[in-house]
Amino acid sequence: MSASSAPMVYVNGDYLPADQAKISIFDRGFLFADGVYEVTAVLKRCLIDYAPHIERLKRSLRELDMAMPCSDDELERIHRQLIEMNDMDEGTIYLQVTRGDEGCRNFPFPEDAKPSLVLFTQPVNLSEDPKADTGVFLASMPDIRWARRDIKSVALLAQVLAKQEAKARGAHEAVMLQDGFVTEGGSSALGFVKADGSIVLRPFSNTILPSITRQAVTKLADQSGVAIEERLFTLDEMMAAQEVFTASATSLVTAVVKIDEQRIGGGQPGPVVRKLRALYFEMAEQQIHEQADAWS
Ligand code: PDD
C-alpha cells in the first residue's frame, strides 16, 4: 500500500491509488467511447451474480470485435483483490474494457490493438438503501439512444442527459420512451405488477440492455409462482399499475412510487416488490455462502 489515502484501482496490470492511475489521451474509450463496461454488486465482500455479468461482458466484447483483456481467472482475481485492498464490505465494482490506444486518433480499429482494462470499487449502501423503503420517482422522456442498446457500451451520453433531466425534475431515475412504449430506465430495467399479481416486462432485444438483476428477479418471481408476461407496454399502462420497480446492480430491486406527477399504488412500496427484494437478498445470501466456501 502507498501513503496515498485514495482508494486502490486497477489499470492495465497495476494496482494503484486512484490519484496515481493514468490512461493515455489516445485511449479509444476517451476519444470514441469505444469500449464496454460492467457493474457488479458486492454484498458482504462477495460478488453477486458475477458469472452472468462476465458472460454479458464477453458478449458485448464479441459484438464489437474486441478481445477479453485477460483470462477469466485473472479477472476474478482482480475483482477480489480490489475488494480486499479497499476493505469494501458492500458496494459495486466497475469494470471497463476499451479498445486501447494506437498513439493517434484514427476511426477504424487499430491493427494490433491491446485492450485497456480498468476496475475500481465504489462503496454503496445497497442492503440498507433508504430508497428501498421510501421508493423512487421516475421522470418520463424520449429515448434518444443508439440502436444497439443490448451492448453495455460506455457511450452513455444519452443516459447522462436523461438522468440529469430526471434529477432536474426532482426524480431519481428516467423512464425512457420510444414509439409510444417504455424501453427502460436511464441505468435500470423497469417492470410493473398488474392487478392480477403478474409482472410485465419488455422483451429483450437490441432496444434495451439484458439486465442481469432483472433476469435474477424474473427467475425468483417465476419460482415463487408469479406469472411473467414479456411484451411492449405504454407509459400509461405502467402509470396505472399497482406496483412498478427498477432492477439494476445499483438499485437491486426498488419500488417506484411516482412517475411524473402520478403516484403509483398508494405512494408506498407495495407487497410484491418488497417480496421480490427480500427474495433477491435471500438469493444473494446463498451466493455469499457458496463463495465463502469456494474461497476459504
Ligand atoms: N446500469 N438498463 C440500463 C440502460 C443500464 O445501464 C443498467 C445498469 C440496467 C440494469 O442492468 P443490470 O441489472 O445488469 O445492472 C438496465 C449500471 C448499473 C450502471 O450503468 O451503473
pLDDT in tens, 129-174: 999 999 999 999 999 999 999 999 999 999 999 999 999 999 999 9
> How many helices and strands (H and E) does the chain possess?
8, 15
Q: How far is the CA of 296 from the centre of ligand 1 (A)?
A: 31
**Ligand 1 probe mutation, 145, 187, 214, 251, most atoms within 8 A of CB:** 187
Ligand 1, atom 19, lies closest to the CA of: 187
Is pLDDT larger for residue 135 or for residue 5?
135
Residue 45 is placed in which grid cell? 465482500
Looking from the CA of residue 186, the nearest atom of ligand 1 is 4
Q: Provide CATH code, domain 130-284.
A: 3.20.10.10
CA distance 254 to 118: 29
Query: 8-123 and 130-284: same fold?
Result: no
Q: How far is the CA of 253 from the centre of ligand 1 (A)?
A: 12
Looking from the CA of residue 94, the nearest atom of ligand 1 is 21
Ligand 1: residues with CB < 6 A are 39, 184, 187-189, 209, 211-214, 247-250
CA distance 177 to 187: 14
Residue 23 scores a pLDDT above 70: yes
Q: Where are the domains of the chain?
A: 8-123, 130-284
H runs (alpha helix) in the chain? 28-32, 50-63, 72-85, 130-134, 157-168, 212-223, 235-239, 271-295
Interval 96-104 mean pLDDT: 94
Q: How confident is the model at residue 1 (pLDDT cuts 50, 70, 90)?
A: very low
User: Does CATH place domain 8-123 in 3.30.70.20?
Assistant: no
Q: Is this prediction's pTM over 0.95? A: yes
CB under 8 A, 24+ apart: contacts of 195-199: 195/242, 196/227, 197/226, 197/227, 197/272, 198/226, 198/227, 198/228, 198/229, 199/226, 199/227, 199/228, 199/229, 199/272
Residue 228 is placed in which grid cell? 411473467
Looking from the CA of residue 53, the nearest atom of ligand 1 is 14
pLDDT in tens, 34-68: 999 999 999 999 999 999 999 999 999 999 999 99
Ligand 1, atom 16, lies closest to the CA of: 188
Q: How far is the CA of 150 from the centre of ligand 1 (A)?
A: 11
Give the residue numbers annotated as catalytic, written as ranges. Answer: 152
Ligand 1, atom 6, lies closest to the CA of: 187
Q: How confident is the model at residue 294 (pLDDT cuts 50, 70, 90)?
A: confident
pLDDT at 296: 65
pLDDT in tens, 201-223: 999 999 999 999 999 999 999 99
Q: How far is the CA of 269 from the centre of ligand 1 (A)?
A: 21
